[in-house]
């Protein structure tokens, strides 16, 4: 059997129609298949490869750590330089109240840990999330996903979960002294890039503080410069109690984290001891890779080019079949008439050498979220191919 046949035979499938490109190499903003065909990558592993595939400084950091040590003991028991240095750099680039990092294996695990922390710290059970929000697929994270289509097949899920309308002032009245935490994305990405008002976010923050509700900001997809600022919540002039990180956090390696004030985070230390625990969370190789990636992002001033690149996509993606273009930084949705048209365009675009896809709660919209390091030439070429693909559908 060839690799494709073995893939379908032995790799658990997540959908009836995977993209199924047999990858040979990835570098910068490009992916090559085993036949040598080249693809411009406009989804960056779903906002994972923010500084591109296999950045030389990330590869160098990985190789160095491989020569030192891999896993040594369950998380939190040994002092490991990659974890310490990465946590230090992360907190230096956050408000001083966000000074304690708990590393996990993924964004979904960060969600789970933060939900537990909120219950432990407040003594409350109610958790509020928003309709059309996405936070992961584990049992707890699935419980707060904002779409019944994805939840229904796996019930019963966690009790005492309330889903509110995003960007609604009336919905804020449901936040009370019974609410342990409210989990929100700064921008609802999977809704097809839905951006709330700054006034609403400030009112949300105020209501949380008045009721003693912990505000958890899910930056798993929006973090690390994706929106044009290092963190998406910065654009709303607020400071959350907890932030959730994943995707780009590991520089291409699997890594997640939730970050809070140390006094809050320490509630997981006792009653019971080991209130939250993970074997591989904060793996030293993943932390070394993520640390190198964040240094590249900051030192090479990559975020400063994001808005300019966003404008270029708007400039080159005009077509009558495109109903709207919504964006914040390099998180872009191209809206079509319906799901059928979008799928045809996406399929044709991939066939023509540009990798893209759709959004979970907006299947009529094409996702564009390339590496932040994408060149102007690659933007022009990819847009030309997208327009050509639209015209052929």
Question: What CATH number labels 56-299?
Answer: 3.40.640.10
In which band, very low, low, confident or very high, does the pLDDT at 363 lie, cut at 50, 70 and 90? very high
What average pLDDT score do residues 302-318 get?
Answer: 97
Q: Can you say whether the dihedral through the CA atoms of 213, 214, 220, 221 is positive or negative?
A: positive
Q: Is the pLDDT of residue 362 over 90?
A: yes
Domain map of the chain by residue range?
A: 3-54+301-392, 56-299
- Average pLDDT over the chain reads 97
* pLDDT the model gives residue 116: 98
* pLDDT the model gives residue 271: 87
What average pLDDT score do residues 204-210 get?
Answer: 98
In which band, very low, low, confident or very high, does the pLDDT at 198 lie, cut at 50, 70 and 90? very high
Long-range contacts of 378-385 (CB under 8 A, 24+ apart): 378/29, 378/30, 378/40, 379/309, 379/312, 379/313, 379/316, 380/312, 380/316, 381/40, 382/40, 382/42, 382/354, 383/312, 383/313, 383/316, 383/317, 384/316, 385/40, 385/349, 385/352, 385/353, 385/354
Q: Is the pLDDT of residue 165 over 90?
A: yes
> CB neighbours of 261 closer than 8 A, spacing ≥ 6?
97, 98, 99, 100, 241
Q: Is the pLDDT of residue 385 over 90?
A: yes
Structural domain 3-54+301-392, CATH architecture: Alpha-Beta Complex (3.90)
In which band, very low, low, confident or very high, does the pLDDT at 185 lie, cut at 50, 70 and 90? very high
pLDDT digit string (tens) for 133-152? Answer: 999 999 999 999 999 999 99
What average pLDDT score do residues 194-214 get?
Answer: 98
- Collapsing DSSP to helix, strand or coil, 27 comes out as strand
pLDDT digit string (tens) for 42-60? Answer: 999 999 999 999 999 999 9
Percent of the chain topping pLDDT 70 = 100
- Collapsing DSSP to helix, strand or coil, 235 comes out as helix
Cis upstream peptide for 303 (omega within 30°):
no
Q: Is the pLDDT of residue 41 over 90?
A: yes
Of 218, 21, 198, the closest CA to residue 106 belongs to 218
Percent of the chain topping pLDDT 90 = 97
Across 193-311, the runs of DSSP E, i.e. the strands, are 214-218, 242-245, 256-260
pLDDT digit string (tens) for 86-110? Answer: 999 999 999 999 999 999 999 999 9
pLDDT digit string (tens) for 214-255? Answer: 999 999 999 999 999 999 999 999 999 999 999 999 999 999
Q: Is the pLDDT of residue 85 over 90?
A: yes
């Amino acid at each position: 059997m060839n690799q494709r046949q073995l893939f379908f035979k032995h790799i658990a499938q997540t959908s009836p129609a995977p993209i199924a490109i047999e990858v040979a190499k990835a570098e910068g903003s490009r992916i090559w298949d085993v036949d040598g065909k080249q693809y411009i990558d406009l989804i960056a592993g779903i906002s994972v490869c923010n500084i591109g595939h296999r950045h030389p400084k990330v590869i160098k950091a990985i190789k160095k750590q491989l020569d030192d040590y891999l896993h040594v003991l369950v998380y939190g028991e040994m002092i490991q330089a990659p974890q310490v240095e990465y946590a230090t750099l992360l907190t230096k680039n956050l408000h001083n109240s966000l000074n304690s990092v708990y590393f996990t294996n993924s964004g979904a695990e960060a969600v789970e840990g933060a939900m537990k922390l909120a219950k432990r710290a407040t003594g409350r059970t109610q958790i509020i999330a928003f309709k059309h929000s996405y936070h992961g697929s584990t049992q707890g994270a699935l419980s707060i996903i904002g779409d019944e289509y994805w939840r229904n097949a796996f019930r019963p899920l966690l009790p005492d979960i309330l889903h509110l309308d995003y960007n609604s002032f009336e919905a804020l009245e449901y936040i009370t002294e019974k609410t342990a935490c409210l989990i929100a994305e700064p921008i609802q990405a999977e809704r097809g890039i839905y951006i709330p008002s700054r006034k609403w976010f400030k009112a949300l923050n105020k209501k949380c503080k008045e009721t003693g509700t912990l505000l958890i900001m899910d930056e798993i997809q929006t973090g690390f410069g994706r929106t044009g600022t290092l963190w998406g919540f910065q654009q709303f002039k607020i400071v959350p109690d907890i932030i959730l990180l994943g995707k780009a956090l590991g520089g291409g390696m699997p890594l997640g984290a939730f970050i809070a004030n140390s006094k809050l985070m320490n509630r997981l230390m006792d009653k019971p001891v080991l209130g939250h625990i993970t074997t591989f969370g904060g793996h030293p190789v993943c932390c070394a890779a993520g640390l190198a990636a964040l240094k590249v992002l900051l030192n090479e001033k990559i975020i400063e080019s994001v808005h300019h690149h966003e404008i270029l996509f708007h400039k080159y993606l005009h077509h009558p079949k495109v109903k709207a273009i919504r964006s914040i930084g390099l998180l872009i949705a191209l809206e079509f008439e319906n799901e059928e048209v979008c799928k045809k365009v996406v399929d044709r675009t991939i066939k023509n050498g540009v990798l893209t896809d759709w959004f979970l709660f907006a299947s009529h919209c094409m996702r564009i979220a390339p590496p932040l390091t994408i060149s102007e030439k690659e933007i022009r070429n990819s847009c030309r191919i997208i327009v050509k693909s639209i015209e052929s559908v």
